[in-house]
Amino acid sequence: MTLGGGALALLLLMFVHAGSQQQAAEARGDAFVRVHGTHFVHNGKPFFVNGFNAYWLMNLGADNAQRGKVTSALSQAAGAGLSLARTWAFNDGNRSSALQYSPGLYHERTFQGLDFVLSEARKHGIKMILSLVNYYGDYGGRKQYVDWAKKQNQIIPSDDGFFNNPVVKGFYKNHIKDDPTIMAWELMNEPRCESNVTTCRTILQSWITEMAAHVKSIDGNHLLEAGLEGFYGLSPPSRSSVNPPAHDKAGTDFIANNLQVPGIDFATVHSYPDKWLRGVDAQSQLRFQGTWLDAHIADARAGGAAEAPAGG
């Protein structure tokens, strides 16, 4: 989700990496969301996801004067039958509103804001997807991480160094909470690598693989997803015809980034037909949307997966 607005449809596509460990945990009836076969499962029952995006929850939660809006939003959502919210668990940079104001240093008040969001979500029966960093510069994002490393004398030619500079990767790994209200972690909001079409796909695939393994090594309970918009790459190259115009160079590969990474439990798709196909009539945007969703659903199924629409 960019902050510029635009209608976002979010689709979660689940891939099957469920092992016996998860099945045992499920038998215990614990409260974490699991994947089982082609379904999300919660407390041993199929969990049907009806979700929404609300990137701003933590910041309002950290402000006593605005906290009530968090409660009100979650309460209205629960009343409308929604069961999942996706939000930012990041706000990076040396500002009073930040979560992480310097690498590994956090404002306690903002953490309390995030705790408040989780506690209100739990009260209203809403699970959360927490995104760990932004690709965009809003709320600090990848650029802030790179700037922090540059201050430590790292030479990083482009912000895509976020994905392979060892100091930046260390900062990222250092930023991770354990709560069943969290349905899933998201590695990054809309990761892209665009500085070099030759190397970017490998760099991004390696980063997702390394960070997925890292998150699972310290938190095996929560589900994990990469945060992709869903642009196709080279597997197979013919699939790029599904991409919106001029979005082939994002450096992502929907199939490889999700299916070929063991720690990734389900896939995500974002869709902004109004922004990606600007100036095109609504009927054509709607047709694009249909094709975009059908293709991802088919690929998820082919990978042994099921789909769970999660918002709009």
Ligand X SMILES: *[C@@H]1O[C@H](CO)[C@@H](O)[C@H](O)[C@H]1NC(C)=O
What residue ranges bind ligand X (CB under 6 A)?
A: 94, 101-102, 196, 198-199
| Closer residue to ligand X (CB): 95 or 278 | 95
CA distance 254 to 242: 11
Nearest partner of 27 among 14, 10, 44, judged by Cα: 44
By the 10 Å C-beta count (0-12 exposed, 13-18 middle, 19+ buried), 134 is classed as: buried
| Closer residue to ligand X (CB): 102 or 152 | 102
| Closest separation in Å from C-beta 65 to ligand X | 24
- Measured at the alpha carbon of residue 117, what is the angle toward residues 111 and 121, in degrees to the nearest 5? 150
| Closest separation in Å from C-beta 171 to ligand X | 13
| Closest separation in Å from C-beta 172 to ligand X | 18
| Distance in angstroms between the alpha carbons of the first and the last residue of the chain | 11
How big is the chain by its Cα radius of gyration, in Å?
19
By the 10 Å C-beta count (0-12 exposed, 13-18 middle, 19+ buried), 280 is classed as: middle
| Closer residue to ligand X (CB): 72 or 94 | 94
| Closer residue to ligand X (CB): 198 or 283 | 198
| Closest separation in Å from C-beta 103 to ligand X | 9
| Closer residue to ligand X (CB): 108 or 281 | 108
Q: Given CA atoms 138, 140, 142, 147 in this order, what sign does their dihedral have?
A: positive
| Closest separation in Å from C-beta 251 to ligand X | 12
